[in-house]
Amino acid sequence: MPRPKSKPTAPDDWAHELQSLLIRKENRPPGEGWLSSLEFAQKLKMSRSQAFKILHQGLKEDLLEKFKGTQNNHGRSFHNVWYRKKQK
């Protein structure tokens, strides 16, 4: 027989409390000019797969820099990657 689920509002439910604390943390890239792969694709009006090919080529040729971080969306935290032209 399955166990009943605990209520998320229970005062001793430390797992939900920890999750709510971690969700608030966002790690976005510092500075300006950063675009996610989706934003890059939308800006150039192309598919994400085509955008990924261009981004990977730019990384390979050392023209772009990459930042791995997290972004909040709909109350949850997700990993995201941002790209921008290398600063000289």
Rounded Cα gap, residues 27 and 22, in angstroms = 11
With the C-alpha atoms ordered 45, 51, 54, 58, is the resulting torsion angle positive or negative? positive
Token pair recorded at residue 24: 């608030």
Average confidence score pLDDT of the chain: 85
Rounded Cα gap, residues 8 and 6, in angstroms = 6
- Between the alpha carbon of residue 65 and those of residues 10, 48, 62, 86, 88, the distances in Å are 44, 18, 7, 5, 11
Residue 6: what pLDDT?
56
Residue 17 has pLDDT above 70, yes or no: yes
Please state the pTM of the whole predicted model.
0.70
Q: Which domains does the chain have, with CATH numbers?
A: 28-85 (1.10.10.10)
Residue 23 has pLDDT above 70, yes or no: no
**Contact call for residues 60 and 50 (beta carbons, < 8 A):** no
